[in-house]
Structure 1
Amino acid sequence: MKRLSKPLLTSAALALAFTLLPATNAQAQEGRKNFYRAEIVILQRLVDPASIEEQMAGKQIESSRNVAKSLWVEDANGRRSSDLKLAGRNELHLGRAASRLENSGNYRVLAAAGWYQNFPPNYNGSPLRVAVGDWLTGAQQTAVEGHIEIDRKRYLHVGVHLNHWQDSQASEAPVKTVNGEEEAAEPEQTGTIADIAENTQPTIAKPVPAELVTWIKETRRMRSQEIHFIDSPTIGVLVFFRKL
């Protein structure tokens, strides 16, 4: 078997490296071309929900709690979790706009998130769960819940699906249980007083459900370097993209 000399091996390695170099540079340039800084600020408009003309209490909403990835999710103690590496609010381009709205006394900032991400053409993003705002004790959830999704076809598109809830104001009748089972109506009680007293358990009230105030269900095309505002009567979302 003929062995190649060391100079020949070196030349072959250099030739291979120069052959691969243009492809590697092209891939890097393509990746940089699709790299963005994404920023999202979620706001609550400080208005009395009772003054809102839309009556949405009876609307049925699909839950976003099973969405796999989290953008900004808070628990009952206000602790935040996210699957993204988020920048601080003071680092955001939207930081000043959020502060101006907050200082107006008409808005409250619920979340301010910024991160870097590659959005190549034909990118179908995964829904990112959002859970922010006051903790609703009766419903055991935050006041604003839903998800935000970012896709890119020819342009970037942001889909905002957020629901604004409040604890239900309707009082529900207590449910009486007999032998641990709920009864929808008052049962006909027979037997001795001792038997009735033994079989009847303490009255237990059903958990108070959440009541829908307003929602945002909108998908909008985004232009880079422009601030976009998507809102409802009680909540709003600022969106900003900057190509790097």
Structure 2
Amino acid sequence: MQQSVLKLSKPLLFTAVAVWLATGQAMAQSAGNAYRAEIVLLERIVAPEDVEEQMANRRVQPQPELPSQLVVTDANGNSHSTLRLVPKHEMTLSRAADRLVNSGRYKVLMTAGWYQSFPPNYNGQPMQVAVGDWLPEAGMREVEGTITIDRQRFLHVGVELNHWQPMPQTSQPQQTELQTGQPESVAAMASGGELQGAGSIEIMDEPQLNAELLTWIRETRRMRSEEIHFLDSPTIGVLVLFKKIGG
């Protein structure tokens, strides 16, 4: 019995080899840009009246609904995400979050882990976040905003989160100063690293109608793979970790 043998002309052979090499290179590059992204949002257990850096008179509009949602919890307590999230027990940050919770000073509002490729010059879309207690008079969650992931030479995470509280019966506009300091011992409990504080801003605005701003996070941080990063305000904090997959 004769076996058929496929013979390619030199031009076709060169083309096939070029396609094979290009495909292999693309797969290698994709693998080299693949990460498991992990984000944990925590609330610091502190009475609102004990927070000196209050921002009740800062005018900030609540975050509207976005097509990209990290974790959004509706009024009925149902959480949604446009990402395929991995189970919490697969996340490295779950252990770091447990250490913070066991300290008695934090509670977890959100955990999110997923696999994604972040190639160079990647411009991510803001991902909506809405978690924490439901504020019925305001019609929103107490912590809401966006988290954005970009990559130029390095990965960057931009956090814009607002921490709201119900509007008190009497609220007078006043001038206040926000100090964006870091809660002590967070690095030791979570990862052992050192955290850096920020400056201050002077603000004076009218209060919100149905809820007032307690604190916020406005920070963009360069990420190092395999390192736990902590971005925070006096009342909420965000743990972030990127683990490179293969490559």
For the residue of structure 2 that corresponds to 1:19, the secondary structure is helix
SS in 2 for 1:101: helix
**Is 1:229 the equivalent of 2:230?**
yes
How far apart are the structure 1 equivalents of 2:243 and 2:136? 39
One of 3, 8, 33 as aligned partner of 1:11: 8
Identity of aligned residues (%): 54
**What amino acid sits opposite 1:82 in the alignment?**
S
Structure 2 residue aligned with 1:24: 23
Q: Which runs of 4+ in 1 moved over 6 A?
A: none
Amino acid at match of 1:165: W
Amino acid at match of 2:70: L
1:68 maps to 67
* Equivalent residue, structure 1, for 2:48: 49
Larger Rg over CA atoms:
1
User: CA separation in 2, counterparts of 1:167 and 1:10?
Assistant: 76
On the 8 A contact 1:138/1:208 being kept in 2, the answer is: no
Match of 1:189 in 2: none
Q: Secondary structure at the match of 1:145?
A: strand
Partner of 2:107: 108
What displacement does 1:62 show?
Answer: 3.6
Q: Which residue of 2 aligns with 1:89?
A: 88
The higher relative CO (CA closer than 8 Å, separation ≥ 6) is in: 2
What does residue 129 of structure 2 align with? 130
Report the residue type matching 2:223 in the other structure. M
RMSD of aligned residue pairs (Cα, Å): 1.9
Are 1:166 and 1:213, in contact at CA under 8 Å, matched by a contact in 2?
yes
Tell me what 2:57 maps to: 58
Corresponding residue for residue 195 of structure 2: none
Separation in structure 2 between the aligned mates of residue 46 and residue 98 of structure 1, nearest angstrom: 14
Shift of 1:63: 3.2
Within 1, Cα distance between the matches of 2:95 and 2:123?
A: 30
Shift of 1:164: 0.3
Letter in 2 for 1:58: N
Structure 1 position 114, deviation (Å): 0.3
Gaps of 5+ in 2: 172-207
Query: Would you say how many aligned residue pairs link Structure 1 and Structure 2?
Result: 204
Structure 1 residue 103, shift from structure 2 partner: 1.4
Query: Is the Cα–Cα contact under 8 Å of residues 223 and 241 in structure 1 kept in the other structure?
Result: yes
2:244 corresponding residue in structure 1? 243
TM-score normalised by structure 1 residue count: 0.79
Are 1:214 and 2:215 counterparts?
yes
Contact 1:101 1:107 in 2 (8 A): yes
Which stretches in structure 1 are left out of the alignment for 5+ residues? Answer: 1-5, 173-206
Q: Which position in structure 1 is the counterpart of 2:199?
A: none
- Report how far residue 171 of structure 1 moved: 5.1
